[in-house]
């Protein structure tokens, strides 16, 4: 899992980065918005941890463009900032100071309850490995792009619940984007083709609701 850490306090940033690396996360630490913007253009993140008070602006500016779950951590924890963060799509807000264990618990929750939960599936000659972001179907290996990876991530992490198309749109594209529901349908068709799931054994369509992942992971 790849995490963006945006924190200008060098001591705190170094401490969080080192602890996350020790937990086998791939961490990219930035200390200002300019550095973060460059990282955003070249990398895809599964989660971002964002401070608000930065040398060249406020962390609010980067939340929507990131298109990944965001946890805000800031001493600017008044109700107005909490509300603004929620409106921009942040999934959580941690007031400073905080215990590191609280941050790690929220990270695990944001990433679906733990990095190693339900990330590998084997069915006959097909293997879906979300750790490696790939589908191996016989002799063919399909590398998952960001859209397909996030679609499979929300479907598998929410299983056996049905996930609506609107939920999928928000998770994959962000609340500030507005692709049509047909875009999701077309993406699911492509994923089924990679899986060889022409009988809908893995991804079930639920009329009028959305899609459901119906297999257990390993």
Rounded to a whole number, what is the largest CA-CA distance in the chain? 55
CATH 3.40.50.2000 fits 120-213, yes or no: no
Higher pLDDT among residues 177 and 135, named by residue? 135
pLDDT, residue 115, reads: 44
List, by residue range, all CATH 3.40.50.2300 domains of the chain: 2-110
Count Cα neighbours of 65 within 13 Å in the Cβ-side half-sphere: 15
- Whether 184 shows a pLDDT value over 60: the answer reads yes
In the chain, what is the straight-line distance between the N-terminal and C-terminal CA atoms, in Å?
18
> Does pTM top 0.75 for this prediction?
no
Distance CA(30)–CA(43), nearest Å, equals: 13
Helix (H) or strand (E) holding 92: strand 92-95
Q: List the CATH code of the domain at 2-110.
A: 3.40.50.2300
Name the segment(s) of the chain with CATH classification 1.10.10.10: 120-213
In this prediction, residue 71 carries a pLDDT of 95
pLDDT number for residue 114? 46
Does residue 185 surpass a pLDDT of 90? yes
Secondary structure of residue 73 in the 3-state scheme: strand
- Looking at every residue in the chain, the average pLDDT score rounds to 88
Report the percent of the chain where pLDDT is more than 70: 94
pLDDT for res 57: 93
Choice between 100 and 1, residue whose per-residue pLDDT is larger: 100
Q: Is the pLDDT of residue 218 over 60?
A: no
**pLDDT 10s digits, 138-176:** 989 999 988 898 899 889 888 888 999 988 888 888 765
pLDDT at 5: 97
């Amino acid at each position: 899992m790849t995490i963006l850490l945006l924190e200008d306090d060098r001591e705190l940033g170094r401490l969080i980065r080192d602890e996350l690396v020790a937990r086998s996360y791939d961490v990219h630490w930035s200390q200002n918005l300019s550095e973060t913007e460059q990282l955003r253009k070249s990398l895809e993140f599964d989660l971002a941890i964002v401070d608000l008070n930065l040398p060249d602006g406020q962390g609010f500016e980067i939340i929507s463009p990131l298109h990944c779950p965001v946890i805000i951590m800031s001493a600017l924890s008044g109700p107005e900032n909490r509300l603004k963060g929620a409106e921009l799509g942040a999934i959580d807000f941690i007031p400073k100071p905080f215990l590191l264990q609280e941050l790690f618990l929220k990270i695990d929750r944001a990433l679906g309850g733990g990095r190693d939960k339900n990330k590998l599936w084997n069915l006959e000659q097909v293997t879906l490995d979300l750790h490696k972001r790939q589908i191996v179907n016989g002799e063919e290996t399909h590398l998952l792009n960001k859209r397909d990876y996030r679609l499979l991530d929300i479907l598998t992490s929410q299983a056996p619940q049905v996930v609506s198309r609107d939920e999928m749109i928000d998770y994959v594209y962000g609340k500030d984007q507005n692709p049509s529901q047909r875009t999701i349908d077309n993406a699911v068709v492509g994923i089924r083709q990679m899986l060889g799931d022409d009988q809908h054994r893995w991804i079930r369509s639920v009329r009028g609701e959305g899609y459901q992942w119906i297999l257990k992971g390993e």
